[in-house]
Each structure stands twice: as C-alpha cells, then as structure tokens.
Structure 1
Amino acid sequence: MTERYQDLIDKNIFGGEPLRVDMQVNAAELPAYATVETVDPVAFDGFEEVLFQPETKRKQRYTVTDLAKPNHVLKLCFETDTLQRKTNDSLAGTHPLALELVRPSYGQAHYLKIEVAADSHVELVFFEKESAVSNPEDGGKPAVFLEATVGERAVLDVVYIHPLYLENSGRRNYLTIKDSTTFLYHGKVSGSGKFRWTSINIGDSLVEKGRVDLLAPYARADIGGAAYIPKGCEHFYQYQVRCLTPKARAFVQSHGVVDDGGSGHMVSIADIEKGAHGAKVREENRFITLGKNARAFTDPTLLIDEYDVEASHAATVGQMDEDAMFYLQSRGLTPEQAKRLVTSGFLMPLIDRIPQNELRNQLAN
C-alpha cells in the first residue's frame, strides 16, 4: 500500500472523524446520527433467509444458529436535515463517512442497522480492521450483520473494504478457511431509491452473502465485488436480488482472481416475482485462475415468474492469458510483476465503482 487509510482520513476526504465499530460501544460518545438498540430476535432470525442458498448446486454449510449472536445493534439514521449540516459529529452532504469496523473473532458479532430517509444521499466506507484470532471454543463463528433501509428517491452507496495486509508491518497474514468471517447484509429499497454495494477483499477467507428487496417501482440495486484469493484461502459470495414490484432494476457484477491453491465461489440469484413486469436485471460473474491448483466456481441463476421482463446473465472462468504474460515479460517485467498487472487490470472495473478518487487510486496501486 502506498499510504495507510488513516492518511486518507487525515486529508479530510471523509465527513469528520471515522466512527469506530467495536464490541464495546459507549452510547454517550456516539455522534448524533448513531444510537444503540437491543437486538430484535425476529429481525435477527430473518438473516437465516440471507444465509440460505436458494436454487444452488452446493450444500449449505451452516445456519444462523452457528454464528455468534451480537450483543446490541448500532443504528445509523440519516435524514436530509442531518446531511445538510456540516458539524463535528454528523455527516456532511458532500463527504462520505468512514467507519472503522474491528473484525470480530469467535464468539463475537457486529449488527448494524442503517436507515436513509427519503431524498437523502449517503456514502459510507467501511474499513475492516484486523484483530486477534481466538479459538473456536470461545463461541459461535465470527459474523457481521448489516440491515439497510433506503427511502423513496434516496441513495445508499456502501463501499466495504476487508483488511489489506498489513498496513503497519507490510506482512501478509491472511485468515484461513477455519477462521473466516461471515458477512450478511439485507437491503430494502423503496420507490426510485437505490442501494449500491461494492465489496473489496484482497486476501482473507470469507463468506459474504447479501439480499436486496426492491419494494416499489423503479427501486434499484447495484451490487459489485472484487476479490483476490491467495493460496490456502477460500471466498464464497452470494448475491440475491428480489424484484417484488414493476419496473425494478438490478445489476450484479463480480470479478475474482484465484491464485494457485486458492478457492472461489460466486453465486448470484435474480428473482423476478409475479407482478414485477417491466423489471430489468443483469448478472455478470467472472473468475480468472493463476495456477493449475486454483479452483473457481460461478453459479448465476434467474428465477422468473412474470412476462414482459428483461433478464440476462454471464459467467466465465478462465486461466490467465499466457500471451499477455509473455508480452509483459518480454518488456522487462518479472513473472510476479506481470501477474500483479494482469490481476489489477481484471479487478479494475470493480475498483472503478468506488466514488472516492483518493481511495480508488490507493486501491489501484
């Protein structure tokens, strides 16, 4: 990395100080838009549907009961009045908000609830910070739960960046499969609202599953993910968008690079339910592999129960272009440099989704 995340925060490209999301929260120290609530058992159990694998060819490994249960809910509520005021403890309308989320370990979980009021536009950037890994005997699997509600004509643009190793020491110590975190998110979008999600994971083993419900006409979902999967690591991504209303719009795009000895899975489901005429959905899942022991699987699914819709998907798994590698090495690059350049180019369409120029450039480097 050319610069640490803190350097970006110091440059004031974010709306004030980052909000730290840790296991212990002092409600008195929270900004105006944040409050602490108790966990609603019904809402928590609803994440079972997010974790569920509908219409896929692979067995579900565990359920919500196997995950650690959060102690509280951190609620972030954004309204137009708050967004128009630039204060020391609230989000400015022209700046994204940075959140430092301390990665949970066994027996630990985060639960965030985000509400964006009608006609508001919010950009959130989550920086997941590494933490010590505990023993499985300490409790359920580490997990992050995120619930988002987007009002009419509102926009919620979330960038979630998993740890980039290691900012301080320069070492790389990726989470193994047995220590992986499960990340579940559930979005609900009202009429003409938009939920935009971009996930960047360069390393850690991870299970990430999301579901977005489009509840009213012209509600939109734009889901993207970029992943580099090194040796000994496994990523599992599942994106599900449910079109429950006429003229809903959904786009899913994910690119992954699997190094020799790594394993990657991408599942996407677009569900156009009865009555959702005029809906438009597109799914694109693409992997490249960097060795004979790299494993990659894509599984796009369209579930259509209505006429007069537009729905399509594309899925590719291919090896690195040997001609491109030869050309780059003939120009003086080492094999490792050539591989990094090809990897960067393949992931760049997803990196380009990040709206913050400085952050986008840092990740590109």
Structure 2
Amino acid sequence: MTTQTILPVDAERLSELSLRCGEPSWLKESRLKALELAAELTLPKLEKTRIDRWNVNHYGNYKETQPIASLHEAPSSITALVKDQEEGSLIIHRNSGVVFTRLAPELAEQGVIFTDLQTAVREHGDLVQRYLHKAVKPDEHSLAALHAALWNGGVFLYVPKNVVVSTPLQAVLLTDDAEASFVPHILIVADTNSSVTYVDNYVSDKTEAGLHNGAVEVFVGAGAKVRYASVHQLGEDTTDVTYRRAVVENDGAIDWIIGEMNYGNTASDTKSILKGNGSTSNAKVIAVGSGSQKLNYTTQAQHFGKNTPSNMITRAVMRDAATSIINGITKIEKGATRADGQQTEKVLMLSPKARGDANPILLIDEDDVTAGHAASVGQVNYEQVYYLMSRGISRHEAETLIIYGFLAPVVSQIPLEGLRNQLQSLVERKLGQ
C-alpha cells in the first residue's frame, strides 16, 4: 500500500522563506529539490508498523524565535536540564529555531564551531555544504525528503584536526507550540584525530498533536572519536520520527547512547557506516513503552572497511498495552574482511497486553568475518523475584531491581551525571514507580 504524501508547503512559500532567512542559493535549491522528491516518494516501510496511520503530516508553520540573553530566561520546562550548564557549551533550540548559544572561550580559541545550523550555513557555508544531507539522504523516503526541505534551527558542531574536547557539549531541543514547525537537523563533523562528546535532550510541553521529523548526521574523520548521547522525552501528543547516521573513516570510532523515553508513537533508525579500515561502532539503546504507544526501533551497522568491529545492544521494557518492534541489522559487505558484528536485542514485558518483537538480522557477503546475535522477549524472571524476596526484599522492590539491572548496560554509559540521573528518573516515571 502506498500513501500520497501531503506537502505542508508549496515551492513558492518555501523559496520565500529561504530568502527571508538569508540562505545561500545552493541551500534554497537543495530545499526545493527535496520538496519535489517528497511529492514522488512514499513513506518509509517499517517492519510490522503502519506508520501511515500515525500523525506524520502535522508540521505546523515556521515561526521566528526570540533569543534569550541568559539561562534565567529559559522556559521552565527545561530549567532543570540546564541548571548545571552555567559555564559549559550549550545550545537551546525552541520550536522553529535556536534561542540560546554558548561556546566555551577555550574551545573557540581551538577552532571548535558550535552553533545553530542556519547560522553555520551563513558563516561556514563551504564546510556545511560538504556534509549536509550526505549521510541521511533526501531520496530515502518522503519523510527524509520533507526533512531536507523543511529543517530549521538545529545544531552544527565542528571539531578541528587533533583537537580533544574533554567536556561534553550539550543541546536541549524543546517543542511547546503545536502550530510551530519542529524539524531540527543535527550535523557533527569530527576532523582527523579529534575527540568529542555531544549530548542532547528532546522535550515537549504542549497538549496538541505535533510531529518531530528529525535527522542526525555524524562524520567521524580518520582516528577521531565521537560519543553521541541522546534522550527523547516527548509527550504523548507528539509523534517522533528520527533518522541517525554516522560515517566513520579509518580507525575512527562512534559511540551511540540513546534513551527513548517518549510517550507518543516513535520510530527511530540509528545506523553506523563503517567506511574505513579499523573503524568501530558501539550502539546502546534503551526504551520504555507505556500506555498504547507504538514503537519501532532499528539499529544498524554496515561494514565496508577491513577489521571493523561493531556492537549493538538494545533493551526495551513494555508495560500497559504498548507494542514495540526492535530490529538489529548487521550488514557486512564484500571485501570487509575480518569484520566483527555483534548484536543483542532484549524485550521485557510487564503486562499481559504488552507486545514486543526482537528481530536480529545478519547480512553477510564476506567469508573471513565473525558475527553473532542474541535476542529474547519475555516477562520478568520470577525465580529471580523469589530469590530476592527470600532475602527480605518486597516483591515490588525485587521487580524494580530486576528491571533496573536489565536497563543498566545503557543507563550507566550516559556521559553526564545530570543526564544520567534524569534518565533514571524518566525510567521510574514511565514504569510508575
């Protein structure tokens, strides 16, 4: 079944908006071409998920944002998330644009760029043009094309050659106006032998239906290391569709740490493309589903280079009538000798009405490789519960300990203590603890 794509804007209005924002001609043409593609392409095909029944058309309109001078003016819904960032590098994106940007002076002196993507287009156009839409390509499906046509605000992070950034850079992305478009694009470029940790948090504060159509592109240079941590906690009225891609060169490394804590329907696809020899990827994803949520998570590693290890761990906990599809895909291309692809998907169901599918997939076109997978779907192990109860722990506490132990491989890896504590609180809230 194909579904006609409803375009939220016509070419004339999109062209006028691009001109009003002072965008260069190459970006305007890129947007218009993507809009043409969106009219021709269909929605992405998700395993056992009818995304055509989701709210994937409510984009709203571009609304100019008013910058804030200090964190004291930040919206109350994100105050707790930025209270520890009085001095650190921080970007706050609200609805259709960025309202606050701060880069530590010592990083600016080393040539680090950390700003909103629309500003980067004007001030670092050649650099942005070299990478924008090269990993998440507009012709993948209609949502990717519409993202390329409509993206706004977003984040651009560039780390120069041999620069090691020891302190995490953080972004908070808030949607609290259902009539304002929320289509941020995250673009990260880590040059040769550089190192950086980037953390972002997606938050909503509204009661009307909305859509987040997001894309993340990470380019990891030779010998560079990027750790990307992201927590999504959008409300039940917000549909969240996010595509993440990393392209990793020789001896580079990407670490994904993803916490999917939304309350609405969610689809995400996180993929590492191990292009260079010796490149590595580690992906850790946790999700907690509640209510009647429909969740579809895919984690991928595609091996092109030789001696390329990848590891993917996904943990999902489903309660109430929530359903989840968890896909792990390891693709080893011909010529990727001595590649090693490992993956584990586990789903824990806390209710008779909850449903979970774990689908490990290995696609191997080379003989000299190693690969493995493990998958499980089940309920809390009551032998473990009874063992803990025999030690004087209540049933509720025993089940809670088992659930937290189930999620611990990801939660423990969050690089910011405040974000780690926040994720723990979100888990507790979603589990009704």
**Short-chain TM bin:** 0.7 to 0.9
| Aligned counterpart, 1:344 | 404
Distance 1:103 1:284, change over 3 A: farther
Q: How does 1:111-122 map to 2 (within 5 A)?
A: 111-122=185-196
Cα RMSD of the aligned pairs, angstroms, is 3.2
Alignment equivalent of 2:315, drawn from 227, 237, 255: 255
Q: Deviations over 1:190-243 (max 9, x none)?
A: 111011111112342311112221111011111110111112112211112110
- Give the residue type in structure 2 aligned to 1:180: T
Q: Does 2:239 align with 1:180? A: yes
Which segment is superposed worse, 270-279 or 340-349?
340-349
Q: How does 1:62-77 map to 2 (within 5 A)?
A: 63-64=143-144, 69-71=150-152, 74-77=155-158
Which segment is superposed worse, 27-36 or 292-301?
27-36
Q: Does 2:80 align with 1:21? A: no
Q: Does 2:193 align with 1:193? A: no
Q: Does 2:282 align with 1:222? A: yes
* C-alpha distance in structure 1 between counterparts of 2:198 and 2:143, whole Å: 28
- Give the residue type in structure 1 aligned to 2:144: V
- Give the residue type in structure 2 aligned to 1:77: Y
| Aligned counterpart, 1:46 | 137
* C-alpha distance in structure 2 between counterparts of 1:258 and 1:227, whole Å: 8
* C-alpha distance in structure 1 between counterparts of 2:204 and 2:88, whole Å: 22
Q: Deviations over 1:296-346 (max 9, x none)?
A: 001111110011001111111111112333455566666544433322111
TM-score (norm 1): 0.78
For structure 2, the residue ranges without an aligned partner over 5 or more in a row are 1-76, 123-127, 426-433
Q: Does 2:308 align with 1:308? A: no
- Give the residue type in structure 2 aligned to 1:79: P
Which segment is superposed worse, 283-292 or 196-205?
196-205
* C-alpha distance in structure 1 between counterparts of 2:261 and 2:397, whole Å: 17
- Give the residue type in structure 1 aligned to 2:228: V
Q: Deviations over 1:279-306 (max 9, x none)?
A: 1110100111112111000111111001
Q: Deviations over 1:103-162 (max 9, x none)?
A: 4867431111111111111111112122325446xxxx4211111101111111011012
Q: How does 1:1-365 map to 2 (within 5 A)?
A: 9-11=82-84, 16-25=88-97, 31=103, 33=113, 34=115, 35-37=119-121, 43=134, 46=137, 49=140, 63-64=143-144, 69-71=150-152, 74-80=155-161, 83=163, 93-103=165-175, 107-135=181-209, 141-163=211-233, 174-175=235-236, 179-205=238-264, 206-328=266-388, 336-361=396-421, 363-364=423-424
Distance 1:175 1:330, change over 3 A: farther
Aligned length: 326
Which segment is superposed worse, 324-333 or 298-307?
324-333
Aligned residues with identical type, % of pairs: 23
| Partner SS for 2:150 | coil
Distance 1:363 1:211, change over 3 A: closer
Is the 1:36–1:73 Cα contact (8 Å) retained in structure 2?
no
Relative to its length, the structure with more helix (as a share) is 2
1:348 is displaced (CA, Å) by 0.6
TM-score (norm 2): 0.67
* C-alpha distance in structure 2 between counterparts of 1:212 and 1:135, whole Å: 31
* C-alpha distance in structure 1 between counterparts of 2:262 and 2:212, whole Å: 17
* C-alpha distance in structure 2 between counterparts of 1:333 and 1:261, whole Å: 28
| Partner SS for 2:384 | helix
For structure 1, the residue ranges without an aligned partner over 5 or more in a row are 52-61, 85-92, 165-173
Is the 1:254–1:285 Cα contact (8 Å) retained in structure 2?
yes
| Partner SS for 1:323 | helix
Which segment is superposed worse, 336-345 or 23-32?
23-32
